[in-house]
């Protein structure tokens, strides 16, 4: 299997595992098992992430991170009508999740299906349907069970604190586009697995000690705050590249973030990434992300002394039903190889 096919296989496998922030154990275990199968010795951090040494020659260490956690929700209230009021996990938006199917994971191990709907959602009986603001107070999860009361829903084992995970709807088109929820950031995890696989298959050694950190709390702001190996002086965060008005990136490119909401990326690192993209003919864009934070930001905020940069395949409709392209995946993979080998 070539690397691109492997990355897509890993992406689809990862996407199929529900893993909102705080509910990532199955996804993390999958990554551990896959890295072990490739011949590495990954370790699970106390926080629940995955840290793995890829080897490398002597020198200052490089940490490459991507996050396995996604957006989602948690049951905040079992309502008197038996339906569920949600509290978002991460930046999940009610207006984006409306009419989306979901799964409710109970603490007792049961899983139920449902749909997030506007309260009173039928157009034929609600004349205010068009004008109601969609929030988690004006929407509710309708459970696909015969329940019409709080007592009946609680009897199913559903309660406050249960995680609610939304259907990703993964699609790969004949024209090379990939559409799914949660490409942010399972796409980057799959790309880094592809990189790890290529090192083994091609008998390659990174130019310096290189580590992977697959984090689990990025979407709530502290994924990369810990577990930086000794000797690491650079952090290359691999996350989704922004696509939108005022930015040059599209889905067929690798995006190099020169500044996010917290400030500029490291000048020397971003300059080298841009120079390598030009030298290797890798399609790229250098962009400013106005409303974006990353694992690199949380690592710096935690006090780690690091140079930092951020790259990622261009992803359209971030935090929604996202879209990227195989060319953007390839460009990101190629830039990682160029920077590390």
CB-count burial class (<10 Å; 0-12, 13-18, 19+) for 336 = buried
Please say whether the dihedral angle defined by the alpha carbons of residues 264, 268, 269 and 270, taken in this order, is positive or negative: positive
Quick one: which H or E segment has residue 6? Answer: helix 3-15
User: Token pair of 60, please?
Assistant: 């200052």
Instruction: Give all strands of the β-sheet with 171-172 in edge-to-edge order.
Output: 171-172, 177-180, 322-325
Kindly report the number of other CB atoms within 10 A of residue 202's CB atom: 10
The reply to whether 77 belongs to the active site is: no
Question: Which entry of 34, 140, 218, 234 is annotated as an active-site residue?
Answer: 218
Using the Cα atoms of residue 273, residue 276, residue 280 and residue 285 in order, give the sign of their dihedral: positive
Q: How far apart (Å, rounded) are the C-alpha atoms in residues 63 and 212?
A: 6
- Give the DSSP H/E element, type plus range, for residue 64: strand 61-67
Each residue of 258-289: b (16+ CB within 10 Å) or e? bbbeeeebbeebbeebbebbeeeebbbbbbeb
Q: Are strands 254-260 and 284-288 parallel, antiparallel or unpaired?
A: parallel
- Nearest-CA neighbor of 215 among 12, 92, 65, 319? 65
| Cβ atoms of residues 75 and 162 within 8 Å | yes
CA–CA dist 215, 226 (Å, integer)? 10
What are the residues whose beta carbons fall under 8 Å from the beta carbon of 201, sequence distance 6 or more?
Answer: none
Residues serving a catalytic function are 218
């Amino acid at each position: 299997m070539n690397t691109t096919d492997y990355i897509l296989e890993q992406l689809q496998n990862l996407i199929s595992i529900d893993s909102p922030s705080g509910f990532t154990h199955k996804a993390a275990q999958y990554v551990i098992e896959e890295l072990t199968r490739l011949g590495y010795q990954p370790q699970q951090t106390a926080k629940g992430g995955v840290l793995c040494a890829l080897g490398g020659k002597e020198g200052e260490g490089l940490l490459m991170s991507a996050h396995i956690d996604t957006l989602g929700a948690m049951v905040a209230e079992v309502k008197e009508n038996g339906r569920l009021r949600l509290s978002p996990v991460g930046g999940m938006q009610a207006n984006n999740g409306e009419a989306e199917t979901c799964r409710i994971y109970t603490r007792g191990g049961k899983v139920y299906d449902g749909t997030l709907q506007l309260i009173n959602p039928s157009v034929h009986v609600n004349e205010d349907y068009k004008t109601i603001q969609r929030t988690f107070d004006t929407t509710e999860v309708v459970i696909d069970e015969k329940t019409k009361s709080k007592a009946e829903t609680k009897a199913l084992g559903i309660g406050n604190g249960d995680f609610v995970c939304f259907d990703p709807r993964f699609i790969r088109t004949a024209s090379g586009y990939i559409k799914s929820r949660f490409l942010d950031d399972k796409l980057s995890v799959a790309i880094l697995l592809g990189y790890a696989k290529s090192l083994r298959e091609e008998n390659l050694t990174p130019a310096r000690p290189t580590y992977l950190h697959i984090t689990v709390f990025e979407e709530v702001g502290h994924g990369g705050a810990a577990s930086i190996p000794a000797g690491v002086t650079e952090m290359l965060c691999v996350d989704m590249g922004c696509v939108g008005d005022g930015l040059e990136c599209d889905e067929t490119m690798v995006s190099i973030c020169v500044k996010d909401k917290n400030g500029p990326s490291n000048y020397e690192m971003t300059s080298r990434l841009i120079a390598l993209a030009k030298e290797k003919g890798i399609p790229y864009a250098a962009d400013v992300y106005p409303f974006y934070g990353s694992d690199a930001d949380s690592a710096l905020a935690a006090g780690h002394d690091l140079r930092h940069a951020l790259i990622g395949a261009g992803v359209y409709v971030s935090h929604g039903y996202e879209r990227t392209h195989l060319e953007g995946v390839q460009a990101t993979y190629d830039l990682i190889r160029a920077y590390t080998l």
